[in-house]
Amino acid sequence: MELLARMFNGDNNPLSDWLEEFPANKRDEVEKKPSLLEALRAVADEVAGVPAADRTGFLACMQAQNNIPNIFDPGVALPELPDGYDALVGRIETLFRTAFRMLTPLGIRDRQYALIYDGLPAHLCAFCGIEPLTAPDPAIPRESLDHYLPITRYPFAGVNLRNLAPTGNKCNGPHKHNIDTLRDVHSARRRCFDPFGEATATVSLLNSRPLEGAVVKAFKLPDWQIDLEGDADAVATWDAVYDIKMRYQLNILDKELRNWLDHFANWVARDAVPPTTRDELVALIDRYLHAVIQEGYADFLKRETFLMLAHRCTVGPSASRVTEWLIALLSPETGAA
């Protein structure tokens, strides 16, 4: 970025001492990668013909795209690249893609991945909470460092470590891909979470309605209501970019509920007394939550499902119906076990 700033500021020989911009202990290794210098020269050649006003525009864009995390707030300026410079923009993107590829041989990618992996409260993708992350061992491939701000849209942030976080392959691939995190489909600015910040979101299923959803293989699913709670605007962006609600329902809740209830029934048959009243049922669900379901992130959707079932046994017009259904499920004569 310092070398690019020289170019945008009109330096006639911006690459004269280019290696000195790198840490002394990395210069030999960087010099052995001719693709980086070639990419820098290609940008410099294009910048040489750009008028001063537009060079200033490129410099402002570079600074703004790296103003992380401030630019996650739509009130912070995010200037557009000057028009009419497709060749220069392409060479800038090539430069940062080249630099990004160098993070692996320079050891930076592995260091970044290991630091984040070791610092996470659970070894799961922080963007969805359901994809496991691979241990940082060179014997096995690890998840990608995802460009939270896509390099195709924000090339100047292409090697900013503040913009690179380990991400599950599904989050990074078919769901987010090149979606603009900072702008919606109408190009309007939107707020988003800072992946390295302290803000979090929680999930609640309490408003779901058991026995009122689709029938799958003779099993009646709930009408799921997945509430994502936290900063409303940032949550909306999170869901839109990563398809959170859809993935939770289709990949986890719809597919696993039957297995979860079967496990609950078998646990009751082995380790508890089947309930015959609502109070006994609610107490049994509470015991199951504390004794069996793992607390924390690993089983958070299963935990929320059983909290919802206990809630729906006592709240709402279908409370008696839900209670009778669960008691029958746990009955030694009629139940799943």
Task: Indicate whether 62 belongs to any domain.
Answer: yes
Q: Are residues 156 and 276 in the same domain?
A: no
- Label residue 161 by pLDDT band (50, 70, 90): very high
Task: Indicate whether 183 belongs to any domain.
Answer: no
In the chain, the number of structural domains is: 2
Task: Indicate whether 193 belongs to any domain.
Answer: no
- Residue 263's contacts (CB-CB under 8 Å, 6 or more residues apart) are none
pLDDT score for 138: 85
Task: Indicate whether 196 belongs to any domain.
Answer: no
pLDDT score for 337: 67
Angle (CA) 65-68-73 rounded to 5° is 90
DSSP 336: -
Mean pLDDT of the region 304-312: 97
**C-alpha distance from residue 246 to each of 172, 213, 219, 240 (Å):** 16, 15, 20, 10
Domain of 29 in residue numbering reads as 2-175
DSSP 212: -
Instruction: Answer yes or no: pTM beyond 0.85.
Output: yes
Domain stops at, among 175, 191, 217: 175
Q: Are residues 163 and 87 in the same domain?
A: yes
Burial of 179 (0-12, 13-18, 19+ CB in 10 A): middle
pLDDT surpasses 90 at 297: no
Q: Are residues 220 and 308 in the same domain?
A: yes
Burial of 194 (0-12, 13-18, 19+ CB in 10 A): middle
Mean pLDDT of the region 231-260: 96
- Label residue 131 by pLDDT band (50, 70, 90): very high
- Residue the block writes with tokens 């199951």: 288
Task: Indicate whether 190 belongs to any domain.
Answer: no
Q: Are residues 208 and 171 in the same domain?
A: no
Least confident of 35-44, 162-171, 291-300: 291-300
* 333 vs 36, residue with greater confidence: 36
Task: Indicate whether 191 belongs to any domain.
Answer: no
**How many residues belong to the chain?**
337
Q: Are residues 19 and 149 in the same domain?
A: yes
Q: Are residues 109 and 210 in the same domain?
A: no
Task: Indicate whether 63 belongs to any domain.
Answer: yes
Task: Indicate whether 197 belongs to any domain.
Answer: no
Q: For residue range 171-222, list pLDDT tens digits in order.
A: 998 898 889 999 999 999 999 999 999 999 999 999 999 999 999 888 999 9
Longest Cα–Cα distance of the chain, Å, equals 87
Q: For residue range 265-278, list pLDDT tens digits in order.
A: 999 999 999 999 99
